[in-house]
Amino acid sequence: MKVHDGLNDQIKNEFYAAYLYLAMVAYFEEKHLDGFAHWMRMQNAEEIAHAMKLFDHLTDIGGRVVLQAIDQPPSDFKSPLDVMRLSLAHEQHVTEKIHELYGLAVEERDYATQVLLQWFVTEQVEEEKSVGDIVGRLQLAGDSPEALVLIDQERAGRTPEEVGEGAWPRPPPGPAEEALRTCSGAAFSATSNSPIRPFGRSLFGPL
């Protein structure tokens, strides 16, 4: 089915995005812009969660996941503004791909995938706005190192909660899980509320 092929393509695209943002982490750490590096680490984790959300959906609907080769991301950037402009262009590209995939789901009357992709459509609006706002602030900053430091400090304030539980919804607990939660007490609860589940499914929800 075309939708299944498209989902496999988008899994690759999301993992490439994670790889791209990791390259940007390396650049910002080299430039001692720890706030931007932290922000990009959050982006990296979010893109992995997006890829795995599609991965799980494809297996849930009886499809076959076929992992594809991931291109090497760029490693040479001219400036923080150059990085963020590239990030914005990439998010716009992802939006186009999501829209194309949604069109395939409509064409094939794959209603479950349409519901999933509605979440991605909304997510991309937020992604483009978030990155676009940073591009705008860097443009206003111009060549001012003081302004750049201030913007960098702002990026350091991003928390995992801002990545959002929506990046990977937790399934409702079953009776067995509820029993285990009750027996485990507060120690288990303290480790089970992370909003990011980056690599795989867990019996207990997000890792």
124-161 confidence digits (pLDDT tens):
999 999 999 999 999 999 999 999 999 999 999 888 77
- 165 with 202, same domain: the answer is no
Structural domain harbouring 178: 172-207
Q: Which run of H or of E encompasses 56?
A: helix 34-60
For residue 179, the SS3 value is helix
- 82 with 183, same domain: the answer is no
Instruction: Please tell me whether the overall predicted TM-score, pTM, comes out greater than 0.95 for this model.
Output: no
- 8 with 51, same domain: the answer is yes
Mean pLDDT of 76-85: 97
Q: What is the DSSP string of 79-109?
A: -HHHHHHHHHHHHHHHHHHHHHHHHHHHHTT
